[in-house]
Chain A
Amino acid sequence: MDLLEKYEPIIGLEVHAQLLTESKIFCNCRNLYGAPPNTLTCPICLGMPGTLPVLNRKAVEFALKMGLATNCQIASYTRFARKNYFYPDLPKGYQISQYDEPLCQHGRIKIRVNDTEKYIGITRIHLEEDAGKSIHGSEDTLIDFNRCGVPLIEIVSEPDIHSPTEAYAYLTKLKQILEYLEICDCNMEEGSLRCDANISLRLKGQQKFGVKTEMKNMNSFRGVERALYFEIERQARLLEQGQPILKQTLLWDEDKGEARPMRTKEESDDYRYFPEPDLVPLVIDSEWIDQIRATLPELPDAKYERFIKQYALRAYEVNLLTSERALADYFEEVNKLVSNPIFISKWIVSEILRVLSQEKISISNFKIKPAQFAELLNLITNETITPNVGKEVFDKMLTSGESATSIVNREQLVQVRDDAKIEELILTILSENPEEVNRYKSGKKNLFGFFMGQVMKKTQGKANPEATMRLLKKHLD
């Protein structure tokens, strides 16, 4: 679209991530998705008068992990604040959040778009409590407070994002880091990861920002990308027509592929923040930070660089292999037993990832464990079976759960490497197909594949490919 040649989108994202603590942030109720309504509540998360919150140490430590992993400065002194508003899913009438003294600030993460690396700034990461859930009926509204008090971190980006594609890459990277840290399960459908976007346009080369709108209610990364494209085009069209952009909040409708404005508020939000008197400030010393830093796993960027160097794999494969920590671990487990990184990576990318996406499961739920997979690959590398037979055995392992060796033995899949046997077979095939032989000899060289195929057919794929090729050439050329 040529309007995008003219205008530059400025996008900032606000991401809320639920932390995987056992208990809620300010009370001892279990932090769990999907329990029967209101069974995980107590006087504190129900906002009963006279109750007092007590901060969950694990929630602070998880937030610190994210701060360190995104290169943030950690505040030495930080405080909670009350954000006041009335809504039925917030029984206290205020949300305990952070305001002018957040836990983490001034971070950045690296994204890759079309082989170009770019940093996106993180303005801040702060801790807060989640609100309850409303179910809107036709007559009334039902409230479930199980989610009330679930620990959240809010991650606010700088307006460094200039396209929906970059927004997608940024979200993917955040999710990857959260998953590596094992502090959030990042399930957008269950709402454990949520994203709002601020969007404005300006003429290219202009310094001043345009009027921004806020987009809410996107339930997938692709949804965010689509909603941003929609809003950028909408704003560009308005600007072209000389119409003003209204400062408003829009709700994305994924089914219709469009956004509609929420009722425009006459007054802008006025949350009347003030320091939370029920919680004492947090002082974070370097000793505590060092302790947390020591628990950080190898992070995605570091793992990516190491895989490139250590295993001499291509960027494309390393991207896939390190997309999930468990997948990278799987690769390295297999490599301990096979030590042929390029070969393993090829098999993981073409076979395992295919199965994972077909069955919509993650590597941790994948039936074939690293040792079993390694056994299969070793049967191929030591030429017990051919690669083609290997793929068959792989499929059989998936359905039966048997080991590669027992499948190979039972079904007699050991490859034929005996030159005499293969040669005998080739001579039979050539005599059975005199016409093809003539055409080949008169220049139709691509018939070579036909002969290879015949040999494989007669041996159920078990003939050693190199030997077959060599012997076929001997008799044909």
Chain B
Amino acid sequence: MPIDVKTVKKIADLAKLSLTSAELEQYSTQLEKIVDYVEQLQKLDTSQVQPLAQVHDTTNVMRPDEVKPSLNPDEVFQNAPARQANYFVVPKVIKGTTA
């Protein structure tokens, strides 16, 4: 299945990646190969096979509603690139937009 540049652009936008036009071209060729491979797999007759979302054969794993101590602030911010008081700091985002 051909993957055009427009599709790559959309995927990149969803992943918050900005790609150059050369990269868009490059990835469209590469993604096409991957999708072709999946298409091969699609040819297998799986009508008799139950869809598998988990490899475990278990259900209903739950825990009781109990509180345990949370991390202390130093641990919380150990990997944070930017911290202000007890907040994580991220580049300005405009409310309601995800782009």
Contacts and interface: CB of A to CB of B under 8 A. Distances in A.
Nearest to A278: B54
A65 interface: no
Contacts of A58: 64-65
Interface string A123-165: 0000000000011111111111100000000000000000000
Contact of A141 (B13, B67, B90): B90
B90 A88 contact: yes
A216 B96 contact: yes
A246 interface: no
A57 B14 CA distance: 33
B87 to A, nearest CB: 4
Interface string A12-54: 0000000001110000111000001111111100100000001
A56 B93 contact: no
Given A38-B76, A277-B54, A140 B59 contact: no
Contacts of B13: 267
A46 B76 contact: yes
A262 B99 CA distance: 12
Contacts of B14: 84, 270, 272
Nearest to B72: A39
A281 interface: yes
A87 B95 CA distance: 10
Contacts of A56: 62-63, 65
Interface string B65-97: 111101101001100001011111111111111
A143 B67 contact: no
A23 B65 contact: yes
A59 interface: yes
A325 B14 CA distance: 46
Contacts of A134: 93, 95
A37 B87 CA distance: 6
A42 B85 CA distance: 18
A275 B14 CA distance: 19
Interface in A46-104: 46, 54-60, 79, 84-88
A22 B66 contact: yes
Given A38-B73, A277-B54, A143 B88 contact: yes
A439 to B, nearest CB: 71
Interface residues of B, number: 41
A282 interface: yes
Contacts of B88: 38, 88, 142-145
A28 B92 contact: no
A280 B96 CA distance: 32
A477 to B, nearest CB: 73
Size band of the A side of the interface?
35 or more
Contacts of B60: 280, 282-283
Contact of B99 (A216, A263, A277): A263
B14 to A, nearest CB: 6
Contacts of B67: 22-23, 28-30
B33 interface: no
B1 interface: no
A251 interface: yes
A363 to B, nearest CB: 27
A265 interface: yes
Nearest to A145: B88
A249 interface: yes
Contact of B70 (A40, A144, A251): A40
A36 B86 CA distance: 8
Contact of A38 (B64, B86, B93): B86
A282 B58 CA distance: 9
B49 interface: no
B41 interface: no
A130 to B, nearest CB: 16
A37 B76 CA distance: 11
Interface string B36-49: 00000000000000
Given A39-B70, A88-B93, A55 B62 contact: yes
Contact of B54 (A36, A85, A281): A281
A136 B95 contact: yes
B84 A142 contact: yes
Residue of B10, B15, B61, B77 contacting most chain A CB atoms (<10 Å): B61
A3 B51 CA distance: 51
Contact of A263 (B16, B77, B97): B97
Given A23-B68, A85-B98, A136-B95, 10 more contacts: A28-B68, A46-B71, A46-B76, A79-B53, A86-B16, A88-B88, A142-B89, A275-B53, A277-B54, A280-B56
24 contacts: A23-B68, A28-B63, A38-B77, A38-B86, A38-B87, A39-B86, A46-B71, A54-B61, A59-B65, A86-B15, A87-B98, A88-B88, A136-B92, A136-B93, A136-B94, A138-B92, A140-B91, A141-B89, A141-B92, A141-B93, A143-B89, A216-B96, A262-B97, A282-B59
9 cross-chain pairs, A with B, having the tightest CB-CB distances, nearest first: A58-B65, A275-B53, A28-B68, A142-B87, A57-B62, A143-B88, A88-B90, A262-B96, A37-B86
Interface of B: 10, 13-16, 53-54, 56, 58-68, 70-71, 73, 76-77, 82, 84-99
